[in-house]
Structure 1
Amino acid sequence: MGTGEKGDEEDEEDEGKKGKKQLPITHYPLPNTQCPMPHAPCPFITNLERQRFHRR
């Protein structure tokens, strides 16, 4: 009987962690704007795209 309750709690924790990691699409960098934090890597683009992006 106790295992069912424990399983539910673990599922809720997993969902909470996943929800925090997912960012809305509005956080994607636009091609015609500068990166708000040039010293930090942009998580949504590849290294090549990042190099082109920061050279503007």
Structure 2
Amino acid sequence: MTRYNQIELKQSKTQLLSMLTKCQNALEKMENNGNPRSRTTLLENRIQALKVALAVIDEQIES
């Protein structure tokens, strides 16, 4: 696995947190607008993937 320095990890974390917030806001709007579950599933999966990526980055920053 490629090793990244602390600066790269922190910059990536910032960008991922921004995307996570935007995705969560979009999901909330979709749910409030009554979109069917089939329309929100992909976004929910992306949110979960972003959370996993952030957890992995946090582990790398701490080690």
TM-score (ref. length: structure 1): 0.39
Relative contact order higher in (CA < 8 Å, ≥ 6 apart) = 2
The TM-score, its normalising length taken from structure 2, stands at: 0.35
